[in-house]
Amino acid sequence: MAFVDAESGAILYEKEGEGTIVLAGTVTKGDILGYSAGWKIAIATTGGVVQARCVAGEDGVSGQRIVVYFDRVVMGGRFSGGTAGAALYVAEASGEDGHYIETAPSTSGDATKKIGYMVSASIGVITPLYADDSTVA
């Protein structure tokens, strides 16, 4: 079974580094967020990279203040088909903003920062601030 991020139904089992931010876009609980002209969902696409900085602790819309987590988050509920030990990355495709993927982006200029890892088929550990930003050469 292939890895799937349903982008809904997130359960945050453990969370560290709580803070609040004001959104510049619509997010779903568990989305990986970054900052580029405001806090919004992260994306790895060349020319529009928004590097991962935190995990949304709740759903929200532009202008709303929400709880986020800047450190380690253990999350389930939205993942299936994961491989224990596999790295997690921010999705690169347009329309996939805020999604998690197990395959590193490969297009020149895409962000390739590892943002966590899977501990089972359905549980991931997200660590948005523990790795340097990087891009495909």
Domain ranges of the chain: 4-132
> What's the whole-model pTM score?
0.90
Residue in the structure block whose two tokens are 């088909």: 81
Q: Tell me, what's the pLDDT at 134?
A: 63
Look at residue 131 in the predicted model and tell me its pLDDT. Answer: 58
> What b/e string do you get for 109-131 counting C-beta neighbours within 10 Å, with b at 16 or more?
ebbbbbbbbbeeebbbbbbbeee
The total of other beta-carbon atoms located within 10 Å of residue 17's CB is 14
The pair of three-digit structure tokens given for residue 12, joined into one six-digit string: 């945050």
pLDDT of residue 135: 63
Digit-by-digit pLDDT tens for the chain (137 residues) are 699 999 899 999 999 999 999 999 999 999 999 998 999 998 887 777 788 899 999 999 999 999 999 999 999 999 999 999 999 998 876 666 668 989 888 878 777 889 999 999 999 999 987 655 666 65
3 state DSSP class of 101: strand
> Angle 43-20-61 (CA atoms, 0-180°, nearest 5)?
55
Q: Region of 128 please: left (phi>0), alpha (psi -120 to 50) or beta.
A: alpha
Q: What is the pLDDT of residue 136?
A: 66
Identify the pLDDT of residue 45: 76
